[in-house]
Amino acid sequence: MSLVNLFAQGVLLGGYYALLACGLSLMFGVMRIINLAHGDLAILAAFLVFSISDAFGLSPFLSLVAVLPIMAAVGWALQRGILERSLRSGMLVPLLATFGLSIALQNLLFEAYGADTRSLGDMIGDLVFDSYEVTSQFSVSYLAALIFALAAAVLGGLSLFLKYTSLGRAIRATAEDPDTAELVGINARAVYAVAAAIAVATVALAGTMLAMRATFDPYSGPMQLIFAFEAVVIGGIGSLWGTLIGGIVLGLAQSIGAAFDPKWFLLAGHLTFLVVLALRLFRDWARARGGLRSSLGLRG
């Protein structure tokens, strides 16, 4: 039974990683930008939710409703103000721009909020520890289940949106070939800004969920970026459903690692990421040499 419990916790944790990675995956898939400020934007959203809830005594869930459009606007402005300009100068410049943004955000948050570690856990009442007890050794936390459901809804909703709506088609067309998209009447720059707005709004969701289930401080962002990046790479770059799988694999690896020794929690995740990455590189290497067998010299 504890094995079932272990798996269930791993999968639920994976839901959080998938939610976190969704925006990174979307921005990479559409604009070919790896947003190094991804984690810091999540933390920014967490602080915004914290501030609104603290000032008005609101539930963080209500504050989140107010923060979502704010963060969407941040994403839109980020694309229009910084990324669009930097994209014109090739691949490296957007990477550097978001790296700079990451450092700036961390230090601005430090200026504004200080070094204290905070959590939204004490603002959501019993939800933070309530769980559904299946057996004495297997229980499912309401919050973890809620986060997983949210991740599935966001990823599923985004997939449907991209597939079946006019704007979704425009985003996919622009992702494939922005110049040709313009030639069929799609305003590629506006589409990019919309995609960035959606991506950063999902980051805000993830940041708020992190702040409810754990603690955060102004420098928590980079670790979240690493988790998101690992989930995206494990799941296959640019695929939304792959991102869900990647998040789950990462969550499982960490939970299983931690079951052997709590110190292994992070290490098991990183190792899984490295193994998947190595396998991918090996597969590409083998493919370039006409398949696995011939590349290993097993075929005359």
Partner 1 sequence: MSLLAVDRLDVRHGLLHAVREVSFAVDEGEIVALVGANGAGKSTLLRAIAGAHLPSGGGIAFDGADITSMRAYNRVAQGIALVPEGRRLFGGMSVEENLKAAMRVGRRGYWTLDKVMELFPMLSARRDALAGNLSGGERQAAAIGRALMTNPRLLLLDEVSLGLAPVVIEQLYRSMRNVLQGGATLILVEQELTRALSVATRVMCMLEGRIVLDGPAEAMSRDQIVDAYFGLHRAARGRA
Q: Which residues bind partner 1 (CB under 8 A)?
A: 166-167, 169-170, 172-173, 176-177, 179-188
For partner 1, the closer of residues 84 and 182 by Cβ is 182
Q: Is the Cα dihedral 37, 43, 46, 48 positive or negative?
A: negative
- Tell me how far, at minimum, the Cβ of 284 lies from partner 1, in Å: 19
For partner 1, the closer of residues 107 and 187 by Cβ is 187
Residue 197 contacts residue 72 (beta carbons within 8 Å): yes
Structure tokens that stand for 242 in this block: 């792959």
Q: Is the Cα dihedral 88, 27, 46, 251 positive or negative?
A: negative
Residue whose token pair is 């410049």 = 93
- Tell me how far, at minimum, the Cβ of 240 lies from partner 1, in Å: 13
For partner 1, the closer of residues 120 and 162 by Cβ is 162
SS3 label, residue 118: strand
- Tell me how far, at minimum, the Cβ of 109 lies from partner 1, in Å: 37
- Tell me how far, at minimum, the Cβ of 189 lies from partner 1, in Å: 8
For partner 1, the closer of residues 237 and 292 by Cβ is 237
The residues near 33 (Cβ < 8 Å, ≥ 6 apart) are: 27, 83, 87, 94, 95, 98
For partner 1, the closer of residues 181 and 206 by Cβ is 181
Q: What CA–CA distance (Å, rounded) separates 201 from 294?
A: 47
For partner 1, the closer of residues 181 and 201 by Cβ is 181
- Tell me how far, at minimum, the Cβ of 76 lies from partner 1, in Å: 18
Burial group, residue 290, by CB count within 10 angstroms (0-12, 13-18, 19+): exposed
- Tell me how far, at minimum, the Cβ of 177 lies from partner 1, in Å: 6
Q: What CA–CA distance (Å, rounded) separates 109 from 118?
A: 12
